[in-house]
Amino acid sequence: MTRSKDPYLALERKIGAGEQGVIVDRWRYGRQLLADPKKVNEAGTLLRGRGTVESLIATAKAAKRKLSEREIQYRLRCAQTYTTEAAISQISATYDTWSALIAAGFPAVDVGDPDDPEAIDLATPPDWDQLTIPGLKPVLSIGARKVPLDKATVPDVGEYLDRITQMHESFGKTVDLIRTSYKAMLEGAAGDDTMLAVEAWNRGTS
C-alpha cells in the first residue's frame, strides 16, 4: 500500500480510523505542528498567511474529515501541554474521550523524571514512512537499551510490553490516589473554594 507523503493527511486518516486512540493521534498531530516551522513559530503559535490553517483544513477534507481552526488549536495545545509519550499515555488513560480532555482544560500531569527514556524530542519530526507496528515505537526503550524496531526480536517486544505495562499500572495507581485525596478535600472544604488543599485534606481525613 502506498503511504501518503503528507504527514497531516496520514495523521488525519489515522484519527478518522481511530487506529491509535482518540487522544494520542490528535496529540501526534499537534506534535507534528510543533516540529513544522512552516506552520508554527518558535513560540509555538500557529502561523498566519499563505493559507496555513486553510491548507490543514483542505488536507483534512481530502481525508474526508471535517476540521476547524479551533480543533487545530486544541491539538496544538495538547502537544504543548504533554511533551512526552509518558505524559500523553497517562492523560489518555485518565480521559476516555477527546471532548472530555478538552472540557477538562488539558490538566497537567506528573510523570516523574523529565529524563525518562520514553521522552520524545519535539524538535525532530516523525518519519511517517518508516516501519510501523501498532503500539510500538520506531525505537524501543528497554531498560538502558535502545532497540530499533526493525532489529527487535520477539523477546525484546515482550520486555518492552512488560515495561510499558508497569508504567501504566503505576500511572493508574497515582490517578486513583489523587482521586481519593481530592474526594477528601471536597468533603473537608464543604463548598469553600478558597480553602487551601492541605487544610481541606486534613479536615476531610480527620
61-72 pLDDT tens trace? 988 889 999 999
Name the strand (E) or helix (H) holding 147.
strand 145-148
Q: Are residues 109 and 134 both part of a single domain?
A: no
Q: For residues 108-114, give the mean pLDDT.
A: 64
Side chain identity at residue 124, one-letter code: T
| pLDDT confidence tier of residue 42, bands split at 50, 70 and 90 | confident
Decide if pLDDT at 27 tops 90. Answer: yes
Q: Which of 150 and 80 is assigned the larger pLDDT?
A: 80
Residues 136 and 197 grouped into a single domain: yes
Crossing angle for the helix pair 197-205 and 154-189, to the nearest 10 degrees: 80
Query: With bands split at pLDDT 50, 70 and 90, how would you rate the model's confidence at 112?
Result: low
Contacts of residue 81, Cβ cutoff 8 Å, sequence gap at least 6? 87, 106, 108
Separation of alpha carbons 175 and 44, rounded Å: 29
Query: Do 57 and 113 fall into the same domain?
Result: yes
| Residues 70, 105 within the same domain | yes
The answer on 137 and 102 residing in a single domain is no
Q: Indicate whether 86 and 180 sit together in one domain.
A: no
SS3 (DSSP) at 52 = helix
The whole domain housing 156 covers: 130-206
The share of the chain scoring above pLDDT 70, in percent, equals: 82
pLDDT computed for residue 113 by the predictor: 47
Q: Does 41 or 26 have the greater pLDDT score?
A: 26
Highest mean pLDDT among 86-100, 124-138, 168-182: 86-100
Please give the pLDDT value at position 196: 85
Whether 13 and 106 map to the same domain: the answer is: yes
Same domain as 16, residue 104? yes
- Work out the average pLDDT over 141-158: 84
